[in-house]
Amino acid sequence: MSDYKFIKGQFTEAELEKAIIELFQAENYEYTNGNNLDRKFDEILLKDDLKDFLYKRYANENLSETETAKIINRLEHINSAPLYIGNRNAFRLINDGFDLQRDNVRSVALHVDYIDFDEPENNKFRVINQYSVQGGRLRRPDLLVFINGIPIAIFEFKSAINEETNIYDAWEQICIRYCRDIPNLMKYAFLSVISDGANTKMGSIFTPYAYYY
């Protein structure tokens, strides 16, 4: 990994973003440039990643295409308005899973998980930049972390080179503009990270700036 030294006023947002991506790659996250993905901007989930996880995890259950679609739709169709309720419902579903009624009504319901918490190596970890999202407006967060095709964390960076912006502006970008304009993405974003290289803080997308840690 590159030896970045983030001294205030001596790096750009692009350099910081690149360094953070390399940190994720060192932890075996797969890096993808969002411009290289074949998707519509209003499509949020990486369905191929999610399908791959489901087919591997439930290989012995012989999930049908209909059942797989039901699992994905259950997550995809969570209402994003009001955003707090949508985010809470997505969090509960992803953390707790749900019982899927099988196509064969005589079969016992299958408990479905979207993330394997017991064996993390079974999950698909991906970090993506340049991921445009169409909502009320077209927005492009600096960085997103996906697990099994679900964007569970959002990052926003600001450079100390530009004296007119600071880490508070990164908080505003996530917690005000993105929450307002692209709730279809933000309903899945459970963690929010803001950084200027020298200072990095984390909270939820609803955390007031003063309480970012």
pLDDT in tens, 102-111: 999 899 999 9
| Domain assignment of residue 33, given as a range | 13-211
pLDDT of residue 5: 55
What are the percentages of helix, strand and coil residues in the chain, rounded to 5? 40, 20, 40
Q: What domain count does the chain have?
A: 1
Q: Is 7 a domain residue? A: no
Q: Is 191 a domain residue? A: yes
Q: Is 127 a domain residue? A: yes
Q: From CA 92, how far away is CA 110, in angstroms rounded?
A: 18
Q: Is 4 a domain residue? A: no
| CA dihedral angle for residue 132, residue 134, residue 136, residue 140, rounded to 10 degrees | 0
Structure pTM? Answer: 0.92
pLDDT in tens, 63-109: 999 999 999 999 999 999 999 999 999 999 999 999 999 999 899 99
Q: Is 5 a domain residue? A: no
Q: Is 175 a domain residue? A: yes
Cα 91 off chain centre by: 12
Q: Is 6 a domain residue? A: no
Q: Is 3 a domain residue? A: no
pLDDT in tens, 147-162: 999 999 999 998 766 5
Q: From CA 92, how far away is CA 196, in angstroms rounded?
A: 31
